[in-house]
Amino acid sequence: MDSLLNISPGLMIWTIINFLIFLFVVIKFGGKIILDGMKTRENRIQNAIDAAEQANENALKLMQESQEKLNNAQKEVSAIIAKGREQGEAMIRKAAEEADKAKKAKVDKAIREIDRSKEQAIMQLRTEVAGLVVEATEKILD
């Protein structure tokens, strides 16, 4: 345990020399490969970021277009409802006018029928009165 805590200057120097040699070998033989890998990864990440930004822009455009279509559809629905309401009111007015015409025609027909019945009753009454007058005259003359 004491040997781990004791620092030997010679061992430290050899450790530093070994580390520097290892670092030189890694940089000499693997440095370019590591840098190429890092650049490739950086390019992939940048391409992914660009694609994500493009997709976000497209999504925003689609959202705006769909919002405009929704607004237009709501306007069309409102116009259709208003037109339907106007047509319904026109049909109600037309039906009321036709009902008034039919009512007036029936009232006129009833009035004509009443007038005809009245004329018949008057004619019948005149006939009966004439008959009674003739009878009364006969009785007076007898």
Which residues have CB under 8 Å from 16's CB, separation 6+?
none
**First-to-final CA distance of the chain:** 177
Take residue 82 and report the two structure tokens written for it: 């208003």
Question: If the chain, 142 residues long, is cut into consecutive pieces of 10 residues, what is the mean pLDDT of each piece?
Answer: 71 92 90 91 97 96 96 95 94 94 93 92 90 86 81
Which residues have CB under 8 Å from 47's CB, separation 6+?
none
pLDDT at 132: 87
pLDDT at 4: 66
Q: What is the CA radius of gyration of the chain?
A: 57
